[in-house]
Amino acid sequence: MTQMSDDNRRIIEEFRANGGAVGGPFGGAPVVLLTTTGARTGRKRVNPLVALIDDGTLYVFASKAGAPTNPDWYHNLLAHPEVEVEFGDARCAAAATPVTAVPSGTGSSLPGWRNNPASPSTRRPPSG
């Protein structure tokens, strides 16, 4: 396994063991588990993500920590927009809708982004 998949596995286990609460760099942040279907493989993939909840809508951002490319889960949800979201103790099915325009200031309100060094990428991450 890669370091990222090991880290994600630990976060997923902690999330499920603690009703959605996690510690470390994501402590206090609204973390969700997003289950997508692999675009090529058709296999289910679970990814922990920091979310923004605004007026009853949940947003996740395909930032990939500032990398110049989108994360795999973003390509998966474009191919298969039917997803499962876990938030706290709740689990529900949803349909992902990519959003290309995010209100200004939205990203700065996400925990962790304030402390993230300037991204080496000028790519604007999609959200949905």
pLDDT by 10-residue block (mean), the chain, 128 residues:
82 96 92 96 96 86 86 94 96 90 54 41 51
Residue 100 has what pLDDT?
72
User: How far lies 30's CA from each of 3, 40, 67, 69, 118, in Å?
Assistant: 23, 29, 22, 24, 22
Residue 32 has what pLDDT?
96
Structurally, the chain folds into a number of domains equal to: 1
Is 117 a domain residue?
Answer: no
What stretch of H or E contains 102? Answer: none
Residue 5 has what pLDDT?
86
Residue 56 has what pLDDT?
83
Is 119 a domain residue?
Answer: no
What is the CATH classification number for the domain harbouring 34?
A: 2.30.110.10
Residue 39 has what pLDDT?
96
Is 42 a domain residue?
Answer: yes
DSSP 117: P
The boundaries of the domain holding residue 78 are 3-109
User: How far lies 117's CA from each of 49, 55, 104, 113, 121, in Å?
Assistant: 19, 29, 19, 8, 11
d(CA 52, CA 89) in angstroms, rounded, equals: 17
